[in-house]
Chains A and B, each alone.
Chain A
């Protein structure tokens, strides 16, 4: 946390190296987050790139009040929603393609996944309603608290927690073969 503040401070002072260190520290986490939200490799890269571009352009006025990772994760979540809205058709196609390639283990997230159960889990995640998937991914990959996620989704904390619980229950059901596609 303090290291992030020092990096930010240096970056505001003009240090490109400081920005590189911020990028290296969080890029993989953010790509994971975006990839799990979108299930679209190219889209995830676009989203993360846009988040970093927006960050460097606004850093002078930027005031960090919480964790930098939390801030960037929230930006990724917002951008992912925008991406989905703007690319609904394309995304639908991508999801269809992802579904089609599930068995071939070629979906973007699955490229990094070796085990069969994780491939199934990745596929199952895409079957969840977006709000549930978003809570799960932001909580487990973005390290966001339910309070932060609730604010992002403009719902109560209880609703965010319920979405998380229902989402996990559904994933368990899918993996246990209780829910069919």
Chain B
């Protein structure tokens, strides 16, 4: 019998194709179980606790930057940079790594300069030269320094965020392995930053990672990340450069004052996001909504927000609240973007208070309708077919 000789091929044809109804039922039951599980879990798990302890005028804005950058550490591919040396050590055998992280494009995005040694990292910002962050992933702690005002503050990163950071380290490690194993798509050779480089790309539903490496040594030259509508570039890698341990010390440097102000970042809500839009228009833009929002733009605007806070003569607690609200609002948006949420910003040029113009809309997870935010910052639930054109 001929088919018996190719029996393995025949067995592969023994397919069970379930009906749409079956799939709907099974998937529905699984999602229902997931809902139930998450409800039970939310009753017992405490939310993340983030506290920044800082007081001087510049550290208020540092706090807002801390919020945004800390989120990147926890959830985004940028987080891997903290332990980048560790991640690629099997390949590169590097004990220290120095690199630049650019949020947005090379030409316009602010540059974050990282010095990484094991689980310790020192981070500085091109658009906020007075701000330095020293992060210890092992203890999930961050020391923020205002080098101009000589003040310092600690930030604790606890709870699920810490786990996600560790997960992401593993994620990056796997990407590097896959590049080595050739299990991602090769996109050929190009001259990247003046060097001949071979490119590999891995694409997901809402993410893409492109790694450009030296074709001879496989050392990374440039890593490009796209996540939701956000992009970032890691480049200018230096491996095994001597690093002064003092630069990575988590102790408050001599001559610095440790100030204390608490920031509650337990939860970032739609209301925080609306408040951040109000701050952006009212405090930073003289009543007009910005041309674009998102992490890159928020980072670019941080110095301006700091300047506005410094010149506002707001009482201490209100100034702190303002920075906190802006950071939380951007956190809400970043989470929406990272999770692949459907969102659209249309506020460019619209005046705060314009009741007729929609400036932002998004679809909350599991919702059939969209939340539409208008120029007067009111919110309505709108069916997809009735969304602004």
Contacts from A to B (Cβ < 8 Å): 1-3, 5-7, 9-10, 12-21, 23, 27-28, 31-32, 35-36, 41, 44-45, 48-49, 52-53, 56-57, 60, 63, 108-109, 111-113, 117-118, 121-122, 125, 136-137, 140-141, 168, 171-172, 175-177
Contacts and interface: CB of A to CB of B under 8 A. Distances in A.
B340 A53 contact: no
Contacts of B339: 10, 13-15
Interface of B: 1, 3-5, 7-8, 10-18, 22-23, 25-27, 29-31, 33-34, 37, 75, 160, 163-164, 167-168, 170-171, 174-175, 178, 183-184, 202-207, 209, 338-340, 365-366
A9 B340 contact: no
Contact of B4 (A41, A63, A171): A171
Contact of B366 (A16, A28, A63): A16
7 contacts: A27-B27, A32-B15, A32-B16, A52-B30, A53-B29, A53-B30, A175-B7
B174 to A, nearest CB: 6
Given A3-B203, A36-B16, A121-B14, A13 B75 contact: yes
Contacts of B365: 14-16
Contacts of B26: 27, 45, 48-49, 52
A90 B97 CA distance: 61
Contacts of A35: 16
Nearest to A108: B16
Nearest to B163: A60
Contacts of A6: 202-207
Contacts of A5: 171, 174-175, 204
B191 to A, nearest CB: 25
- Minimum-distance CB pairs A-B, first 7: A6-B204, A2-B202, A35-B16, A172-B4, A175-B4, A32-B16, A52-B30
Nearest to A176: B1
Nearest to A121: B10
Given A17-B205, A57-B33, A140-B12, A10 B7 contact: no
Given A6-B207, A56-B34, A23 B27 contact: yes
Question: Interface SS of chain B: helix, strand, loop or mixed?
Answer: helix
Given A14-B339, A121-B3, A122-B14, 12 more contacts: A1-B178, A2-B183, A10-B205, A15-B340, A16-B31, A49-B30, A53-B33, A60-B163, A63-B170, A109-B16, A117-B3, A118-B13
A2 B37 contact: no
A104 B180 CA distance: 53
A2 B16 contact: no
Nearest to B10: A121
A112 B338 CA distance: 40
B183 A172 contact: no
A106 B167 CA distance: 46
B183 A9 contact: no
Nearest to A33: B16
Given A1-B183, A17-B205, A175-B3, A28 B16 contact: yes
Contacts of B31: 16, 19
Contacts of A31: 16, 18, 22
Nearest to B5: A172
B12 A141 contact: yes
Contact of A17 (B14, B15, B340): B340
B294 to A, nearest CB: 17
A21 B205 contact: yes
B355 to A, nearest CB: 33
A49 B27 CA distance: 8
A57 B40 CA distance: 11
Nearest to A57: B37
B381 to A, nearest CB: 19
